[in-house]
Amino acid sequence: MTHSSSLDANSRTALIVANIGMLLAITIHDADHIRQAANWCYTITVTLWIINVAVYLPSLAALVLSIGRHRFAAGATSAGALLIAILFAKVHLWKPTVNAWGIWNKSFFVLGADWISWSILTMLVLVAVAVAMTGAWVIGRSGAENAKD
C-alpha cells in the first residue's frame, strides 16, 4: 500500500510553498512575541518555549505530507491552517482555552499591544486563510481530475 496520491507537480508545489509560508508567518509572529517580551521586561520560560513548539506541528506535518505527495497533504494543509487562524485569533483577541501562555494569557487589548503586533497578527491570520484556501484548491483539482477518469 502506498501513501502517495496522484498529486500533480503544480499541486505539490502549491502545498509546499503554502506550508513554508505558514511556517514563516508563525516564525515572524513568534519573533514579535520576543520583541514584546523584551519591551515588557518579561522572561519567556523554557516551558513556554517547549509548549510553543506545538504551534508549528500542524504546518510541519502538512509540509512533510506535501513533500511526500501523500493523499492527505491537501486536507492536512487546510485543516492545520484553519486551526491556526481560529486559535491565534481566539488567543489574541479573547483569551486562550488553556492557561499556558505566560503573559499572553491576556488578550492583545488588555496587554495594550502596539500596531506592529496587531499588523503581524492580522498578517498571520490572513496567511493562514490563504494557506487553507490553497489546500482546498488542491482538493478541488484532485476531485476534478478524478471525475474525468
Q: How far is CA 138 from the centre of its chain?
A: 18
Whether 1 shows a pLDDT value over 60: the answer reads: no
- State which amino acid sits at residue 81: A
Cell digits for 146? Answer: 478524478
Q: What is the pLDDT of residues 63-122, one digit of tens each?
A: 999 999 999 999 999 999 999 999 999 999 998 888 889 999 999 999 999 999 999 999
Q: What is the pLDDT of residues 24-60, one digit of tens each?
A: 999 999 999 999 999 999 999 999 999 999 999 999 9
Query: Strand, coil or helix: what is 4?
Result: strand
In this prediction the pTM is 0.90
Q: Under a CB-based contact definition with an 8 Å cutoff, are residues 48 and 102 in contact?
A: yes
In 15-25, which positions are buried (b, 16+ CB within 10 angstroms) versus exposed (e)?
bbebbebbbeb
